[in-house]
Amino acid sequence: MDAAAKALFDENAVLKAELAVARAKASEDAALIAQQTLRIAKLQRQIHGQKSERSARLLDQLSLELEELEASATEDELAAERAVAKMTTVAGFERKRPERNTFPEHLPRERVVIETPKTCACCGGSRLRKLGEDVTQTLETTPRQWKVIETVREKFTCRDCEKITQAPAPFHPIPRAWAGPSLLAMIVFEKFGQHQPLNRQAERYALEGAPIALSTMADAVGAVCTALDPLRRLIEAHVMAAERLHGDDTTVPVLAKGKTDTGRCWVYVRDDRPFGGAGPPAAMFYYSRDRKGEHPQTHLAGYAGILQADAYDGYNKLYLADRKPGPVREAACWVHARRPFFAMADLEENARRKASGKKEIPLSPIAIEVVRRIDALFAIERSINGKSPEERVAVRHASSRPLVDDLHVYMREQATKLSRGHDLAKAIQYMLKRWAAFTLFLNDGRVCMSNNAAERGLRGIALGRKSWLFCGSDRGGQRAAAMYGLIVTAKMNGLDPQAWLADVLARIAGYPAHRLDELLPWNWRRAAAADPAIAA
């Protein structure tokens, strides 16, 4: 290679190195912007209380974008390091990573000491003295370990009377005792909490060296549901004793002969925290093959209180004045009513469509004004969340009632200007026809403006439908509903559902029936079990 060619080659290498460094810096900036955007979105959701599915999907989208950009930034950083290593004239690049959180103190530490050199690397002397040490902490996990527990009951015979003595057999979570409580909890939580069907679990367990027949796992699921049914009934009694309930339902595909039918999963949520109630939160799920009104009427046959729900006609008989044991008071959901207005007032969506060259949505000044007024009411609600009913009513009378009255007048005026078939007119009439239910919150501090608590309870089912595709039968739907209630209630009380299920399954078989309420999520205290697999 002559001098000119070598100079051209070196110049090309330098340009490639500089380009790699520039690409790494750009990737770092993009990742940093995505990280701050996600942080801002989370803070806004926390401060302003936007719990809608749309805001949740936005956070998921931002998280995925951050994942991809962070991975790309690391790849570009390593590429820049390799390119710069060959050059002496190009400055290196080092990413400014955010400060890593220290690892939790409760995690066990395993100290690995690298063998110290016996002689000095400089002079070869052996008179070395410890000056200090540098410690690098790395988070690690141990792959899941399977084991077989052999429970031995020794037999003894008395030499005097020849009577055989043996320790009594221990209680087992399920008949035939082939699986321990931690394994059972993992199977049912994976199936109902993480939406992993049993066949996928069986495949994974076989790869880990512990093959379990699908029929055997299904048998365990049925046994666990039977064992936990007393707790389900206690939770049901607690939920139905609430002063106010959130109610909602969603579709559940059900396998049928040659086709898939559409069943329903109903949820009733007790959450007294918004009005400072002392009752712990809990959720109750039910399954039905259709959406007839007889189902909620059966579910709430013994209930008399406030029901926050949408305008489903199946609830109407619950609101009759002569109903026994008493009428249910209807509380409408302002979030549900706001959605059609928001669809015609979404300025941000139009901006995104315009930027991507798509056709813009026709926006309505009336819808924009209604959304603005409803949002002002929700801003007041956020300031009184968690306060007593009396305090909430006082603030609502002083601040919310004038806004509600003005909104009522405004909607009645605009309704006269619109044709009956207009989407905006339909949205307005939906509220005006149920105005008593929408304004109940002004006089009762226990009522919330939204039914988001019930929608959050059903969110897991909506996410899981893509994984499990359908329920195998009506019985399967009923089992799923029972387990959803236990798992969602545990989550609402801040517990790890799998840890709670494992501990409860280890104890419930021999637990006194009159003390079962001690195992409910809001009363539960983990037992100091001798078996570390159960205590873990």
Mean pLDDT rounded to a whole number for the chain: 84
Please tell me the number of Cα atoms within 13 Å of 352 on its side-chain side: 4
Taking CA atoms, 258 is separated from 254, 261, 466, in Å, by 11, 10, 20
Q: Confirm whether 388 is domain-assigned.
A: yes
Q: Confirm whether 391 is domain-assigned.
A: yes
pLDDT above 70 covers what percent of the chain?
Answer: 85
pLDDT of residue 329: 96
Greater confidence (527 vs 160) lies with 160
Domain count, the chain: 2
| Residue 441 lies in domain | 237-457
Distance CA 39, CA 32 (A): 11
Please check the confidence at residue 292 and state whether its pLDDT lies above 80: yes
329, amino acid identity: R
Structure tokens, 346: 């979404």
Taking only the tens place, the pLDDT of each residue in 69-79 is: 666 777 777 77
Distance CA 480, CA 289 (A): 13
Q: Which residues, 6+ apart, have CB-to-CB distance to 456 below 8 Å?
A: 51
Q: Confirm whether 293 is domain-assigned.
A: yes
Q: Confirm whether 482 is domain-assigned.
A: no
Decide which of 59, 85, 111 is a domain's last residue.
85
pLDDT of residue 94: 64
pLDDT of residue 30: 78
Q: Confirm whether 81 is domain-assigned.
A: yes
Q: In what order do the strands lie in the sheet with 306-308?
A: 282-288, 259-270, 244-256, 306-308, 329-331
Decide which of 457, 484, 504 is a domain's last residue.
457
Phi and psi at 324, nearest 5°, equal -105, 140
Give this prediction's pTM.
0.78
Decide which of 85, 110, 131 is a domain's last residue.
85
Distance CA 61, CA 230 (A): 41
Taking only the tens place, the pLDDT of each residue in 329-385 is: 999 999 999 999 988 887 777 677 767 777 777 788 899 999 999 999 999 999 999
Residue 94, classified by CB atoms within 10 Å of its CB into exposed (0-12), middle (13-18) or buried (19+), is exposed
Q: Confirm whether 246 is domain-assigned.
A: yes
Q: Confirm whether 214 is domain-assigned.
A: no
Greater confidence (433 vs 465) lies with 433
Taking only the tens place, the pLDDT of each residue in 446-501 is: 999 999 999 888 887 876 666 555 566 788 888 889 999 999 999 999 999 999 99
Q: Confirm whether 186 is domain-assigned.
A: no
